[in-house]
Amino acid sequence: MNLRTRLWLVGGLALLGLIGLGMVLQLFNQLVWQLSTVLPYGLVGPVVFVVFAGAALFLVQLAWPWLRAGMANRSPQAPTAAPEAPQNRREAAQQNLAAIDQTLERVRDAVEREALRQERARMQAELERGDLVIVLFGAGSAGKTSLIRALLKQLVGEVNAAMGSTSKTERYRLRLKGLQRGVWLVDTPGILEGGAGGEDREQLAREQASRADLLLLVVDGDLRAAEMEVFEALAALGKRLMLVLNKCDLRGEQEEQRLLNLLRERTRGTIAPDDVIPASAAPQTIPMPGSLPLQPKPEVEALLRRIASVLHADGEELIADNLLLQCLQLGEASRSLLAKQRRSDAETIVDRYMWIGAGVLAVTPLPGIDLLGAAAVNAQMVVEIARVYGISLSRQSAQDLALCVGRTLAGLGLIKGGVSLISAALTLNLPALLLSRAIQAVSAAWLTRVAGLSFITYFERDQDWGDGGIQNVVQQHYDLGRREGALRRFLAVAFNRVVQPLREKDRQLPPRPPQA
């Protein structure tokens, strides 16, 4: 803006100001003259002041929102504080629990939400606890309960019982010298058991193992194939794991050493050699001719020293790692539940649009197979699916995405292939015109489903088609949809929604006039 324009602008504003001031003065004089005719002279001034003050307050009240907005825009905005990085694993676990709370608020299923909420409450209690948890895991007769009895030096459960006698978890408190925290020993149901309830007991044992700070896998010999699978599954949990070779009193020193070396060789790279430990929890009695049999004392000192050494050195880290791992698993479970809910909502949208499109084409069929591709990709459907995944998509962006999928369907030959597939499946005794309309409507619905599921995959992957690109995603959903079971279920619904209404409508048409 040049100087001359600025001068004209200032002059114009000054003139408008003078005109406004003149109008205010004229109004003031008019008000004083009118009041002086009806009021005593001494009341005219105060009344005029009250009137103008009220008018001024009214104008300020009207203008205040704009003034406040202007001042807020001028004032420097304080930068949004980024969430502080956790200082340790315990703080990281607490942040994960807070994120879980936000996820649970969006879960609609009351039963699943309550189950996750209870698990989250248990995790909060675990976060605040002060004890270490050691879970013993092993086959039914490996001697877990006897080992706990020997560690506690008191009878805590049935021993020498039949396999599967431990049907629920039992917890026992243990104190170690020099360790401020208490220790819980958890006896779990045996694994690899047959019979009724064996799988349920094993599942319970695995759940307890997933919550442990330290795991002890108790065996009474070499790792069999089934036990090796259990060992690898426990190691995959990411917990500290020890392997205890129990019942060493039943074999000589050479055999014991051979088994220990064999176990250390089998578990190399997974656990440290020092974490493969011999024990004899309940040694067999030794006959003594002429006197009572001798009952040897349990030999668990090496195991107890190793447990104490690990807990003294790494106890705090074991607790923190366990808490963080459980929080991450719970967070993954809650996100998986939310993803399942979102997918269900998105598929409902796809179902609605596929049958809307089919109904429109059934009533007003369109010529040309290419138009089926346009029916199969609806921009509004894309917008609604994006909204389910928390994405705000403009109409133009949705249209571009829909056209991209439509071109892919046509470019891969899936539109013609889909029509041919539906034509071959609809072997109905219908008039030619009616059959043509049914094929076109059902084909449009089927292609809309292929396109809609492709959009769902795109948004599930954070708006990324993946390494194979859009062609791979569209082709994958096309192939899944043409499988015998999926296609049969689709055609059963299509018959009720499209074909049967067309038949009913055809019956209601007036008869054709006779040919002359």
- For 187, the domain range is 92-284+295-330
Of 185, 190, 133, 145, give the one whose Cα is nearest residue 163.
190
254's tokens: 């050479």
- Of 330, 350, 384, the residue that ends a domain is 330
Q: Please state the pTM of the whole predicted model.
A: 0.56
Looking at the domain assignment, is residue 53 inside a domain?
no
Sequence-separated (6 or more) residues with CB below 8 Å from residue 378: 353, 357, 402, 448
- Alpha-carbon gap, residue 302 to 284, rounded angstroms: 19
Tokens 């917008």 locate to: 383
Say what the pLDDT of residue 238 is: 81
Q: Which residues pair with 294 in a beta bridge?
A: 286
Identify whether residues 222 and 105 lie together within a single domain.
yes
245 — phi, psi (to 5°)? -90, 105
Six token digits for residue 408? 């892919």
Alpha helices (H) along 269-300: none
Residue 396 lies in a domain: yes
pLDDT confidence of residue 425: 79
3-state secondary structure 107-167: CCCHHHHHHHHHHHHHHHHHHHCCCEEEEEEEECCCCHHHHHHHHHCCCCCCCCCCCCCCC
Structure tokens at 461: 């992957």
What is the spatial distance between Cα 132 and Cα 112, in angstroms, rounded to a whole number? Answer: 29
The total domain count for the chain is: 2
- Give the residue carrying structure tokens 């967070």: 331
Distance of CA 212 to the CA centre of its chain: 23
User: Helix or strand or coil: residue 7?
Assistant: helix
Buried-exposed string 177-210: b where 16+ CB fall within 10 A, e elsewhere: eeeebebbbbbbbbbbbeeeebeebbebbbebbb
What are the phi and psi torsion angles at 139 (to 5°)?
-65, 165
CATH of the domain at 97: 3.40.50.300
pLDDT digits (tens, 9 = 90+) for 293-313: 787 888 888 998 898 888 888
Q: Are 169 and 159 in contact (CB under 8 A)?
A: no
Q: Taking the CB of residue 113, how many other CB atoms lie within 10 A of it?
A: 17
C-alpha to C-alpha distance for 27 and 25, rounded to whole angstroms: 5
- Per the domain annotation, does 385 fall within a domain? yes
How many CB atoms sit inside 10 A of residue 331's CB? 19
CA-based angle 359:362:365, to the nearest 5? Answer: 125
CA distances to 60, 113, 303 from 298, in Å = 90, 48, 11
SS3 category, 12? helix
Determine, yes or no, domain membership for 301.
yes
360 and 326, same structural domain?
no
pLDDT given for residue 146 in this prediction: 86
> How far from each other are the two terminal CA atoms of the chain, in whole angstroms?
86
Q: Specify whether 321 is located in the same domain as 372.
A: no
Asked if 276 and 243 count as a contact pair (C-beta separation under 8 A), the reply is yes
Contact by Cβ (8 Å): 213, 133: yes
Q: Which two tokens stand for residue 391?
A: 């994405």
Claim to verify: residue 358 and residue 485 sit in the same structural domain? yes
Same domain, 301 and 357: no
241 Rama sector, left if φ>0, alpha if ψ -120 to 50, beta otherwise? beta
pLDDT per residue as tens digits for the range 320-331: 777 777 777 777
Task: Specify burial of residue 99 (Cβ count, 10 A radius: 0-12, 13-18, 19+).
Answer: middle
Close Cβ partners of 89 (under 8 Å, ≥ 6 residues apart): 317, 320, 321, 323, 324
Same domain flag for 210 and 165: yes
CA-based max dimension of the chain? 139
3-state SS class at 453: helix
Tell me which of 330, 352, 386 is where a domain ends.
Answer: 330
3-state DSSP assignment of residue 512: coil
Closest CA to 499 of 384, 417, 410, 422: 422
3-state secondary structure at position 348: helix
As a whole number of angstroms, the distance between CA 437 and CA 428 comes to 12
Residues 425 and 315 in one domain: no
Q: Which tokens hold the place of 426?
A: 């609809």
Does residue 178 sit in the same domain as residue 323?
yes
**Do 107 and 208 fall into the same domain?**
yes
pLDDT at 163: 39
Question: What backbone phi and psi angles, to 5 degrees, belong to 224?
Answer: -75, 170
Q: Is residue 37 part of a domain?
A: no
Q: Are residues 318 and 351 located together in one domain of the fold?
A: no
List CB contacts of 441: < 8 A, sequence separation 6 or more. 358, 359, 361, 362, 365, 498, 502
pLDDT number for residue 201: 66
Residue 38 domain flag = no
Q: Which residue numbers in the chain have pLDDT < 70?
A: 1-4, 32-33, 35, 38, 41-42, 44, 48, 55-91, 93, 126-130, 154-168, 190-202, 363-377, 427-434, 505-516
Partner residues linked to 219 by β-bridges? 245
Same structural domain, 429 and 312: no
pLDDT for the residue 264: 94
Q: Are residues 358 and 220 in the same domain?
A: no
46 found inside a domain: no
Residue 192, domain member (yes or no): yes
Length of the chain as a residue count: 516
